[in-house]
Structure 1
Amino acid sequence: AGSKALTFRLGTPIKLRGLPMRFGPSTTGFTDPAHGTSIALFQLTAILLAKRFNIYRIINIKVLRMLTEEIGNTFLEIDKRLQEEISLKEK
C-alpha cells in the first residue's frame, strides 16, 4: 500500500476516486473479481473435463465458456447501471 491507497479502493465508484475514502458497505467494484472467479472456475472445470475427451465433454466445455462470457457481460452491465445511478444522484 502506497500513497494511492488513501484515495483508491476497489469498491469506490469511478467518479469518486481521488476523493477521501468513504467507509461502509459498497455495491460497486465487483465486476472484475466476479468475472475472474467465473474464468478460474471455467478453466479448472475444463481441465478436469479434458482428461477424458468425448463429444459430450467438448460440448460441455463450449457451453461453460459461453456462460463464463455471459457472466462477465452481466456483471459489466450491472456495474454500468450502478455508475449511471451514482452519476444521477450527484446532479
Structure 2
Amino acid sequence: PLGCIPRQHLQKLEETAKDPVTVAELFLGTPYLWGGNSRWGIDCSGLVQAALLACGIDCPGDSDMQEKAIGQSCDGNTPPQRNDLLFWKGHVALVT
C-alpha cells in the first residue's frame, strides 16, 4: 500500500539536528515501551539513540552498548551539562 509523508516532515539527508535534547523533547507524551524506539513507544536507550542519530551521531540501541561506544568517565566534580549522558545499570538518561 502507498502512503504519504507530509512535506514538512522531510529534510535533506545531509541536514541534521544540532541539539539532541531538542530532538528528545519531540517525544514528550510518547508511551514507555521496553525495547521501543518510535513514537508508538520508546524506552530510555531508544530515546537517546533517536536523539543522537537525528544529530548525525552514531549510537547503538542498548544502554550497555551506548555506554561502551560513546560513554566516558567524568571526575565526579564537574556538574553534568545539557546533552551529557548518564548511565546506570540497564538505563541511560539525557541531561536537559
Asked which structure has the greater CA Rg, the reply is 1
Greater strand fraction, Structure 1 or Structure 2: 2
TM-score higher than 0.5: no
TM-score by length of 1: 0.26
Instruction: Give the number of the structure with larger relative contact order, counting CA–CA contacts within 8 Å between residues 6 or more apart.
Output: 1
Greater helix fraction, Structure 1 or Structure 2: 1
TM-score by length of 2: 0.25
